[in-house]
Structure 1
Amino acid sequence: MDRRSFLQHSMAAAGGSLLPGAAHALPSAPANAGAFPPNFLWGMATAAFQVEGAWREDGKGESIWDRFCHTPGKIKGAATADVACDHYHRYREDIAILKQLNQKSYRFSISWPRIQPSGTGAPNPKGLDHYSRVVDAALEAGIRPFCTLYHWDLPQALEDRGGWPNRDLAGYFAEYAGILAKHLGDRLTIWAPFNMPWTVAYLGYAVGSFPPGRASYTDFLKAAHTINLAQGESFRSIKAASSKAQVGSAYGMSPAYPKTQSAEDRAAAERYHAFNNLYFLETAMRGRYPNAFVVPTPYEQMGFRSGDDKIMQVPLDWLGFHYYTRRVVSDARGSATGSTGTVATETQDTAHGGDPWTQLQSEMPAEGPLTDGGLEVWPRGIYDLVTRISREYDHPIIEITESGCSYLDAPYAETNGSVPDPRRIAFFRDELRELSRAIADGARVRAFHAWSLLDNFEWADGYAERYGMTYVDFRDQTRTVKDSGKWYGRVAANNRVEA
């Protein structure tokens, strides 16, 4: 992910009800810290556009990210994902790495324009065959395939029809989901319709820093509503085609803490939580939008119709979310920035920010150390996030769908070409101990997916960030498992994190 841009656009106030001091007090871990339940699923994640390459092969259509990458000035270093990690051709090699590292779950995404090049109509058999082979390869390795249907690569032809603000896309997406469930649902059981839907809608349509590059708050509201409709319709479509399907989703979340103990800052943190963490979760679980705005929910602007609440509401089988860092939030009403308060998911784009609807100011603190990508390392955040979502939604089954950190460590001659990356090991060690503590306190977490299996194309940052547990030399596609990957493999084998 271009996580510096996400985490500065996200609204995740999972800790809104916490005292500010609680954000800084890290309680001592219990004696069994680091232990995980039997049959816990250790995994890694990738995304089609970030790893596959083969951008014009076997009938694949153009995606909005293809168009964006090929537009000068959009991607750092003028990079493209035309080749990326060449995972399209090397998926067996990469799944072998997962097996070598004792992984039991592989979260990957499917490229919609590989299946339907124009976004509608008959499926492309070569696209279906490719993903069928990926699923089979994972199963042969003893790994659970976990499919994300949409990780941001909308067919450009559908953007030409209006993109996500066009509510017709909810039906097109449900058709796409049904095609995949029909062809893969006999073997593939875990499905997530969307990856970080808030980012899709906000960065693509309100801010314009991601494709399609629009900057209209009304377009954002319409896009978000269409995605909520598509989430519900695709759930039913998958279930209708596959009796084995377990459907959840993969939301981007960050715990947010009020900057002070004032009622205003606490309320701002709650709005942050509602706007990013719950804006697509509350609609599925309860058929309603959360209280995210200082004004009444703008139903007319979002194109809400009678009966949409019933379309949006579906009984998700599990909840998935990502964790990277936290936010500190304050009220912006009446201030100089009150009419243009910044919003953030994982990164902050103050140059484009501006949201008179939520009226809050979010900050990425730097009390903890920073990754090479500029995100604060704050292990306690995953505990606060998991326990809060567990309380608010009656202890659902949870999967951590992504978590990781960017460090630029590379192969080192003095260690025979290995990749020592102790900071990444420390990141995961401390975070996983906090996750273990959340489980001990009653959270029903069944899986953790590290981001990422491979160094890859990091969206607007191109190849300037490395989140992988496997180093990729993009000159020749050589893979080298980093020390963190080997460490994570031992964690998976032992089902516990040692001190």
Structure 2
Amino acid sequence: MLRRRDFLASAVAATALPALPLGARAQQGQPPVAMPPAPAQVQPLSPAGQPQLPPGFVWGASTSSYQIEGAVKEGGRKPSIWDTFSHTPGRIADGTNGDIACDHYNRYPGDVELMAKGGFQAYRFSIAWPRVIPDGTGQVNAAGLDFYDRLVDKLMERGILPMACLYHWDLPQALQDRGGWHNRDMAGWFADYARAAVGRLGDRVKPWAMLNEPSVHAIFGHGFGNHAPGLTGWPSYVMAQHHQNLAQGTGITAVRALRSNLKLGTVFSLQPIYPASQDPADLAAAQRFDACWNTINLDPLFKGSYPAPFENVFAQLVKPGDMEAIRVPVDFLGMNYYGPSWIKHDPAAFLAQAGYGAVPEGTPRTLLGWPISAQGLVEVLTRLRDQYGNPPVFITENGACYEDPAPANGVVQDPERVEYIRAHLVACSEAIRQGCALNGYFAWSLLDNFEWAEGERRRFGLINVDFATQQRTPKASYLYLSQVMRAHAAARP
């Protein structure tokens, strides 16, 4: 049996990966990865374009529990890893935390009303594991589930489809104390939690996503350490990634056995990965980064294997039956899309010697410095079409952070966000025209919220939140999206 310390040592050694040139995997008996060409400049699609989406396309908005709920000590909830992390000095850029956030726990009726007035058809929210099973395992907390009962009933009362995500990074601290995602028992614990949530809400909530962005949670929470739980290093990342994949498959199987009439899926963050140059070392680094960000989730789910060159690394964790447990049918794939990355070879980078390179001059960016490319959304969707069987996809997050002005005359003017959303909706229509099985779009985010390590200082919301007063003010982007959604709804037969 591989002991944990032996695995750590071997995984550390695995970071010394050679810079494989393009085609090297074919020489090793593996098909080469088709990397998209690195454009000289990336721009949104034509500003003259307007989105044309088909009948039945689902329109919604997304949030996550720790980022909006607040009420961290109400209703029997116990701490999550984000409670611990955000209260650790120096972890959050502006020193804030999610203790109150948007106070959605108490203000959800008004937030649902804002969705209804805007014409939103669906709402993707996450359920807080530490509300449902505060100690992570064992006793189910009925009071915690009562909150989600009330939320779901209010959504249905206003004609809004609830889509629940079971895990959006707020692991119970009690489970982190038992090893968290480094402990393969997490798969069984997650399945128990999934059964508890679905057992209570599955009579009304039909679409369920298992995990949100497992690769991001593994990279930033367990590799870079700038997200909760603040762990670092390649071995930590590898364990967190595999055990999330295993929990995802185990959860789907458990829920499907509980109720056969649900739509089950999961949510990945996907993006185009370009080499920072045509140097063979950068080309190989881009392949490795693409594996760590994109195919480390896609390949196990849809192909039942880990991507090269990491098969040997993960083989040290994979036990008999693991890959069969992970490769289970899904009814949909949630895809979070924000923009592309340019990657260079970096011998000092923990993530397979692949680090962020220079973004081409002239590439538009958000306030966070994230590159913008609506065309990249088309690239990712066509990749799913061509390499992964064209699964039914919902865009479950898409949005942008900008420096919003103060509200004036009852609205916040955010023209950059309006253009960002418009360009990406045009990209959605283009992907559908090209045969991609795209079924809906959920904007990130309904509300300005606690934006993880950035705290309250960075805003993605369609609706402005004054965190001191909890006053909600619609933004121009909310009004724009409302017009688009209503126009498409009116055009339906």
Candidates 177, 181, 188, aligned match of 1:160 = 177
Matched, 1:219 2:219: no
CA contact (8 A) 1:327 1:365 kept: no
Q: Deviations over 1:217-267 (max 9, x none)?
A: 212211211111101100011111122211111111111123345665444
Question: Structure 1 residues 114 and 26 mapped into 2: Cα distance closer, same or farther (>3 Å)?
Answer: closer
**Equivalent in the alignment of 1:398:** 393
Question: Structure 1 residues 22 and 291 mapped into 2: Cα distance closer, same or farther (>3 Å)?
Answer: farther
Q: In 2, distance between residues paired with 1:468 and 1:88?
A: 17
Q: Deviations over 1:69-109 (max 9, x none)?
A: 11111112210110000000111110111111111110000
Q: In 1, distance between residues paired with 2:105 and 2:43?
A: 45
**Equivalent in the alignment of 2:321:** 307
CA contact (8 A) 2:249 2:328 kept: yes
Q: CA deviation at 1:362?
A: 4.1
**Equivalent in the alignment of 1:270:** 287
Candidates 438, 441, 450, aligned match of 1:445 = 438
AA matched with 2:418: I
Q: Deviations over 1:339-384 (max 9, x none)?
A: 224xxxxxxxxxxxx23x3546544445322222222222211111
Question: Structure 1 residues 63 and 409 mapped into 2: Cα distance closer, same or farther (>3 Å)?
Answer: same
Provide the secondary structure at the position in 2 that maps to 1:298.
helix
Q: In 2, distance between residues paired with 1:490 and 1:217?
A: 46
Q: In 1, distance between residues paired with 2:43 and 2:173?
A: 48
Matched, 1:371 2:371: no
Q: CA deviation at 1:396?
A: 1.1
AA matched with 2:314: Y
**Equivalent in the alignment of 2:107:** 90
Candidates 458, 464, 473, aligned match of 1:471 = 464
Q: In 2, distance between residues paired with 1:119 and 1:257?
A: 39
CA contact (8 A) 1:135 1:188 kept: yes
Q: Deviations over 1:284-341 (max 9, x none)?
A: 2222111254xx521354x2212211111111111111111111234x2xxxx3x224
Provide the secondary structure at the position in 2 that maps to 1:471.
strand
**Equivalent in the alignment of 2:194:** 177
AA matched with 1:372: L
Q: CA deviation at 1:440?
A: 0.7
**Equivalent in the alignment of 1:53:** 70
Q: In 1, distance between residues paired with 2:299 and 2:253?
A: 17
Tell me the matched-pair count: 457
**Equivalent in the alignment of 1:18:** 36
AA matched with 2:37: L
> What is the TM-score of this pair, normalised by structure 2?
0.88
CA contact (8 A) 1:16 1:270 kept: no
Question: Structure 1 residues 442 and 69 mapped into 2: Cα distance closer, same or farther (>3 Å)?
Answer: same
CA contact (8 A) 2:401 2:460 kept: yes
Matched, 1:297 2:312: yes
Question: How much is the aligned-residue C-alpha RMSD, in angstroms?
Answer: 2.1
Question: Structure 1 residues 229 and 317 mapped into 2: Cα distance closer, same or farther (>3 Å)?
Answer: same
Q: CA deviation at 1:417?
A: 3.5
Q: In 2, distance between residues paired with 1:359 and 1:453?
A: 33
Q: CA deviation at 1:175?
A: 0.4
Question: Structure 1 residues 372 and 233 mapped into 2: Cα distance closer, same or farther (>3 Å)?
Answer: same
CA contact (8 A) 1:326 1:364 kept: no
Candidates 312, 323, 336, aligned match of 1:322 = 336
212-221 or 111-120: bigger deviation: 212-221
CA contact (8 A) 1:386 1:443 kept: yes
1:326-405 → structure 2 map (5 Å cutoff): 326-330=340-344, 332=345, 337=346, 339-341=347-349, 354-355=350-351, 357=352, 359=354, 362-365=357-360, 367-405=362-400
Question: Structure 1 residues 151 and 365 mapped into 2: Cα distance closer, same or farther (>3 Å)?
Answer: farther
Provide the secondary structure at the position in 2 that maps to 1:56.
coil
Q: CA deviation at 1:26?
A: 7.5
Q: Deviations over 1:366-410 (max 9, x none)?
A: 532222222222221111111111211121101101010112223
Provide the secondary structure at the position in 2 that maps to 1:153.
coil
> What is the TM-score of this pair, normalised by structure 1?
0.87
Question: Structure 1 residues 76 and 281 mapped into 2: Cα distance closer, same or farther (>3 Å)?
Answer: same
**Equivalent in the alignment of 1:120:** 137
Q: In 2, distance between residues paired with 1:55 and 1:263?
A: 49
Matched, 1:143 2:160: yes
Q: CA deviation at 1:25?
A: 8.2
Q: Deviations over 1:137-191 (max 9, x none)?
A: 1111111101110000000000000110000111000000011111111111111
**Equivalent in the alignment of 1:346:** none
Unpaired runs of 5+ in structure 2? 1-32
Question: Structure 1 residues 23 and 190 mapped into 2: Cα distance closer, same or farther (>3 Å)?
Answer: farther
Q: In 1, distance between residues paired with 2:45 and 2:277?
A: 21
Sequence identity of aligned pairs in percent? 40
Matched, 1:490 2:483: yes
CA contact (8 A) 1:16 1:256 kept: no
